[in-house]
Amino acid sequence: MIQLLLAALPAFAEDLSVPYDSFVLKNGLTVVLVPDHSAPIVHVNLWYHVGSSDEIAGRTGFAHLFEHLMFQGSPSAPGEYFDLLEPVGGEVNGTTSFDRTNFFETVPSQYLPLALFVESDRMGWLLDGLDQAKLDNQRDVVRNERRQRYENPPYGYANMDLMAALFPDTHPYHHVPIGSHADLEAATLDDVKAFFRNWYVPDNASLVIAGDFKTSVAKRLVKSYFSGIPALDRTVERPSLAEPLAAPKKIVQYQAVPERKVWVAWPSPAMYAPGDAELDLLSHTLANGKDSRLYYALVKEQRVAKDVSAYQQSLARGGMYIVTATAAEGHTTDEVVAAIDAVLADVLGAHPPTEDDLTLARTEYRVGFFDRISTIAGKADAMNGYQTFTGTPDGFAADLARYDAANVAGVVAAAKDVLSKPRVELHIAPLADAPPTAVPPTADTPSPAVPGGAQ
């Protein structure tokens, strides 16, 4: 099966390139055009280089709030922008992360002018229609989303707590994009307008258009719709990077959850940094499949866990390497951590990954890589990511080459470097396990100190 997969994929990363045309408008907007006539559709993909890592203390959640506000229309397009695009068959959405906010729509080819109008209108004139009623409405929507995604589901606080513990409060990754109730409630109309003027501007954005269009027509349309948006005189000061995690931490929480779970997390390299790809490949050896090292040891052999996973969460300015597992009935998360540590010590010592392990890991990574860019929308979004974080949209070959070049020695070296650092253990147990002194979490303080638990 692996040989069949290999035969179906490009043999060398350097063979992979996507033709494109790019230019920069006088106001600073970077534009990338990617013709693809395989289907009569066009995908418009706009990234703003702003995310929750650009927020300041007391004003968290603004980038995600604007993901919602950006659909609220303007004086020239009253109502919601959904109402313009969905009736013509458009698929429309936006997302927010730690390092970027993106907006995108896929429309039949003839509606490219409409899609470009929408993106240019909200970049240039959204604030003209932003009032207190819209802010109040979307603030309530975001706060409800926080409840649905973080506060109500079992283990919903876990990732939030890991980041708060791994990164000090002065670090841009200390908080997650959803923000806090207190900060969202405190936000004034002037606050959010100032945030928009600083970040949602042409020279902090890149526009990728991919699909069925003529390059000359697309250039003319982009210039027509976006050239009139002025460049602003602004000073961009991104929060500085504080040192992550000076000493190990163990956090124990008791919540309304059905099972005992544990997360073990280390600060790790940023995306595209040395060690990033190697840790991805390590994760495959550790936890991908029932014969992987962690699964075999914890679930099949020792039976201390019901499941286990490992992954590298790489962000633009740093990352986290995470191993997480659910304890089997009758076993504690401390037992699970001890078993994890034994496997990691073995993998980094007597029994490192083999060449066959890396070949399988690279192959499965390649399958996922090409699956992600197999659609016009996927290709456009990947190119905008490369443009934003590396400065060139055609980053496919360089990205894939990192995995092709990785070897056993490099994987072990990267793992030893990361896994030797101070780490966070987050243990979450059912309320029935809690000592009498335990304090339940609250909405804005999900991780109160538990006597005897946090260290």
Structure tokens at 357: 């392990």
For 12, 102, 167, the CA distances from 268, given in Å and listed in that order, are: 28, 25, 11
Cα–Cα distance for residue pair 169/155, rounded to 1 Å: 22
Structure tokens at 429: 């147990």
| Predicted TM-score (pTM) of this structure | 0.90
Cα–Cα distance for residue pair 140/136, rounded to 1 Å: 6
The reported pLDDT for the residue numbered 454 is 34
The reported pLDDT for the residue numbered 96 is 96
Let me know: does 63 contact 51? Beta carbons within 8 Å: yes
Please name which of 126, 109, 124, 123 lies closest in space to residue 44, comparing C-alpha atoms.
109
Structure tokens at 440: 């339940």
Q: What is the pLDDT along the chain (455 residues), one digit of tens a residue?
A: 444 444 444 555 556 889 999 999 999 999 999 999 999 999 999 999 999 999 988 899 999 999 999 999 899 888 889 999 999 999 999 999 999 999 999 999 999 999 999 999 999 999 999 999 999 999 999 999 999 999 999 999 999 999 999 998 888 999 999 999 999 999 999 999 999 999 999 999 999 999 999 999 999 999 999 999 998 777 677 766 777 788 999 999 999 999 999 999 999 999 999 999 999 999 999 999 999 999 999 999 999 999 999 999 999 999 999 999 999 999 999 999 999 999 999 999 999 999 999 999 999 999 999 999 999 999 999 999 999 999 999 999 999 999 999 999 999 999 999 999 999 999 999 999 998 776 665 655 554 433 333 33
Domains of the chain and CATH, by start: 21-226 (3.30.830.10), 249-433 (3.30.830.10)
The reported pLDDT for the residue numbered 261 is 98
